[in-house]
Amino acid sequence: MNDSILKAIGNTPLVNVNFETPATIFAKLEYLNPSGSVKDRSALYMIEYAEHHGLLKPGGIIIDASSGNHGVAVAMIGAIKGYKVIITVSEKISQEKLQTIQAYGAQTVMCPATSFIEDPHSYHSVARKLAQETPHSFMPNQYFNIVNAQGHYHSLGPEIWHQTNGKITHFFAGIGTGGTISGTGKYLKEQNPAVKIIAVDAANSLYSTKGNPKPYKIEGIGIDFDSPVHDYSVIDEIIPVTDEQGLGMLPVLARTYGLLAGPSSGAVAWVAQEYSKNLGKHDIGVIIFGDSGRAYLSKNFYGEPQPSVEQQGVHHKQAHHLEV
């Protein structure tokens, strides 16, 4: 029995995805964490680290910038631990994620979507200013705090290693703050330096466009700034994915594999699907499904709905049958 929702973080399932490959590919369903994403792990680690180091005290206020999921995780953790939470978000956020942060009782601040995180109007700059001006506040600072990656090093990395009995050969994850790939990649490389760590970036990001970023729809991933959280020493390859490729996977994942996943999972799955065509039967790949498609239903990424039963005329026929 778990004594708190926080104890239910982690131990998410690893499920087989039958892509056309001789290799075995597993999806790690991080969307089954209590607040719905991989960010439960890093948010809890950063907050408890701050508590242990006296950076966050009872009655304190947690302020941070988030593309959504980190904010949702912080809001859930703040609710159970009794901290006030303020999350700055960008206009790109899905309505569902915004409302989820608010449902946990946190305050939100809407900021324009900017191409550069250093822009004074960006959600990150606004969070930093708010934290500087607010007494008793603590900013986890997920984009620049290496404790973010340490959370995954101590949690996601060991879990994946044990769940695959140490047989994982390829690890695929999106790169946003870089915490997931850097922390997990470091742990896996320490166990077996031959494990390939493959990062998935948004094709329009600052990194993948070589300094000329353009807007993109996929939320949560994209290297748009330099940060100590990005540990390139553990990453073997960075593969760019377009919106069309990543979002195009979403109906396939839902309708063929029963996996209702978010856009970053679509991007990572697209890379794993293409990459695994060249893998062998002894290869074992793990792909991170960071969050659920339920947080994006309003964005219509999941294909046309089937016509309703009524439109097919069944309703009409039933009425006729009754008359007879």
Ligand X SMILES: Cc1ncc(COP(=O)(O)O)c(C=O)c1O
Q: How far is the CB of 183 from ligand X (least distance, A)?
A: 8
262: contact with ligand X by CB under 6 A:
yes
176: contact with ligand X by CB under 6 A:
yes
Q: How far is the CB of 169 from ligand X (least distance, A)?
A: 21
**For 226-312, where are the alpha helices, taking DSSP H only?**
243-257, 263-275
**CA 311 – CA 316 distance, rounded (Å):** 9
Using the rule CB under 6 A, give the single segment among 121-129, 179-187, 252-260, 313-321 that binds ligand X: 179-187
**For 23-68, where are the alpha helices, taking DSSP H only?**
39-52
β-strands 84-90, 61-65 pairing: parallel
Q: Could you tell me which of 257, 253, 241 has the C-alpha nearest to residue 293?
A: 253
266: contact with ligand X by CB under 6 A:
no
# chain residues binding ligand X, by CB under 6 A = 18
Q: How far is the CB of 324 from ligand X (least distance, A)?
A: 54
Q: Which residues pair with 201 in a beta bridge?
A: 240
155: contact with ligand X by CB under 6 A:
no
Q: Which of 178, 185, 213, 285 binds ligand X (CB under 6 A)?
A: 178
39 is catalytic: yes
Closest CB to ligand X among residues 175, 188: 175
- Interaction with ligand X in 31-90: which residues (CB under 6 A)? 37, 67, 69-70
287 DSSP assignment: E
Alpha-carbon 304 to chain mean position: 25
Residue 181: C-alpha distances to residues 73, 85, 196, 268, 308 (Å) = 18, 26, 11, 12, 42
Using the rule CB under 6 A, give the single segment among 73-81, 173-181, 232-240, 244-252 that binds ligand X: 173-181
220: contact with ligand X by CB under 6 A:
yes
| CB-neighbour burial class of residue 298 (10 A; exposed 0-12, middle 13-18, buried 19+) | exposed
276: contact with ligand X by CB under 6 A:
no
- Catalytic residues, by residue number, are 39
**Which spans of this chain sit near ligand X (rule: CB under 6 A)?**
37, 67, 69-70, 174-181, 220-221, 262, 264, 290-291
